[in-house]
Chain A
């Protein structure tokens, strides 16, 4: 039994070690996620298909993201039928909830949305810092949300970034991918939060139909 535990631990260590202990020392690569933004030049509004799943609940909807001239950000998600799921604003350093359905209006979910939307928009708190890992082609990002320290490990190339987010105090982990075009435009994002049983996937839509219809 004892040896079994030791072997299990060894397998676990070996399995995870590549994250922290790269076998080959490669040239240090500084990767600043601020260069990557879901808002491309001259675009102030982005629409995405959004799919969320947590535990046994699912939401499919449309996510509207807007950036004002003052660099304030607005995030509104509605269902296909137009019902609002949430509305968040990110002004300066303040992320606030304007509306959120009760089942999602939990501190841990709100914090998760804040983190991911900050990542998408490249807007981080003042505590944010980004530095390359000394021995790997990995960028490590730390920033704080309240008393919790988040640490992101990014493994990017031209079109794809893998990230793992460790919420150190709670020892939870989020894994995800961000897909970029060659123009550094976000083409999609997927992540799952095992601890909270949550998965989220979004994809910007190209052919949005927006016009001025007559009103009732």
Chain B
């Protein structure tokens, strides 16, 4: 479950190369003609990234709720496999992936897990490594892809093929900025109408990040 979600998130997050900001999408989408060229350009954008720092806004839509629920935070990545999701709203929550270990800080409580003791987390780590290596579209067995474009974005829609994933998601939509092939947003559509939308902003690549950032005491 976690494997593919994290894979997709990190896959495209690490391909970001420029600062993007929230924009309203009213574009109409048409099918991309040269998909191989698009894939190559997206893959190319990931190769030089050694670290990333980005704000993110997570929007959760639930059909039972009249309003969307917004979470905000910051994401840090350092090659080869250090990741930190730091939620600041609606409450403080941090999850860190560090060389086979997982740290969670919830308010003042800190928990530490061994990733190998949990199959999902182990698979997640494997996927992170794969993504960091730039193998962006290597999960062809797990997904069918649909490529579209508008004036502003490329939209790659992934349709899960494995039953486990199908149970979780109807599709996963990834929006790339057309100017630099960076990701603007990821939308995880559930089987029903519910979805999670993650937008990235204020992103900086190849910044200095100390290893202490990926450890919680």
Q: How many A residues, CB 8 Å from partner? A: 31
A82, B188: Cβ atoms closer than 8 Å:
yes
Minimal Cβ-Cβ distance residue in A for B195: A82
What are the residues of chain B within 8 A of A84 when measuring CB–CB? 168, 190, 194
Selected contact of B117 from candidates A56, A74, A78, CB within 8 Å: A56
**Is B36 located at the chain interface by the 8 A CB criterion?**
no
Our pick among B5, B64, B118 for the contact of A64 (Cβ within 8 Å) is B64
Interface size class of B (residues with CB under 8 A): 35 or more
Nearest-neighbour CB distance to chain A for B80, whole angstroms, equals: 22
Q: Contact mask B74-94 → A, CB, 8 Å, 1/0?
A: 000000000001010111010
Contact among A51, A101, A208 for B69, CB-based, below 8 A: A208
| Minimum Cβ distance to chain B for residue A156 (Å) | 27
A55 → chain B closest CB, angstroms: 12
Does A129 touch B at the CB level, under 8 Å? no
Q: List A183-216 residues whose CB lies under 8 Å from chain B.
A: 205, 207-216
Within 8 A of B (CB), among A79-97: 80-84
| Complex interface: chain B residues within 8 A of A57 (CB) | 118
Contact of B64 (CB < 8 Å), options: A58, A66, A101, A207: A66
Known: A76-B62, A81-B5. A209 touches B69 (CB 8 A): yes
Please report the C-alpha to C-alpha distance between residue A101 and residue B60 in the assembled complex, in whole angstroms.
18
Cα separation A47 to B68 with both chains bound (whole Å)? 12
B67 touches A60 (CB 8 A): no
Contacts of A162 in B (CB 8 A): none
Cβ-based interface call for B14 (8 A): no
A103 to chain B, nearest CB (A): 10
Please indicate the chain A residues that have their CB under 8 angstroms from the CB of B23 in the complex: 214
A33 contacts B by Cβ under 8 Å? no
A49, CB-defined interface residue at 8 Å: yes
Interface status of B142 (Cβ within 8 A of chain A): no
A81–B197 alpha-carbon span in the complex (Å)? 10
Residues of chain B within 8 A of A60, CB atoms compared: 93, 104, 106
Nearest CB on A from B197, distance (A): 6
A37 on interface, CB distance cutoff 8 Å: no
Contact (Cβ within 8 A) A213 B69: no
B177 to chain A, nearest CB (A): 13
Q: Report how far A76 CA is from B168 CA in the complex, Å.
A: 14
Would you call A210 and B197 a contact (CB within 8 A)? no
Is B25 interfacial (CB 8 A cutoff)? Answer: yes
Evaluate whether A47 and B1 lie within 8 angstroms (CB atoms) in the complex, with A81-B196, A214-B24 already known: no
- CB contacts (< 8 Å) of B5 on chain A: these are 81, 83
| A38-80 contacts to B (CB < 8 Å) | 45, 47, 49, 51, 56-58, 60, 62, 64, 66, 74, 76, 78, 80
Rank and list the top 9 A-B pairs by shortest CB-CB distance, nearest first.
A82-B196, A210-B67, A214-B24, A74-B64, A209-B70, A216-B25, A82-B60, A66-B64, A209-B90
Query: Could you give 20 example pairs across A and B, Cβ below 8 Å?
Result: A45-B66, A47-B90, A49-B106, A57-B118, A58-B111, A60-B93, A66-B65, A80-B85, A81-B5, A81-B9, A81-B196, A82-B196, A84-B194, A205-B90, A212-B68, A213-B70, A216-B25, A216-B175, A216-B185, A216-B187
Binding site for A on B (CB under 8 A): 1-2, 5, 9, 22-25, 57-60, 62, 64-72, 85, 87, 89-91, 93, 95, 104, 106, 111, 113, 117-118, 168, 173, 175, 185, 187-188, 190, 194, 196-198
Q: 13 extra interchain contacts, Cβ-Cβ under 8 A, other than A212-B68, A216-B197?
A: A45-B65, A64-B69, A78-B62, A78-B196, A81-B5, A82-B60, A82-B196, A84-B168, A101-B1, A209-B69, A209-B89, A211-B67, A213-B68
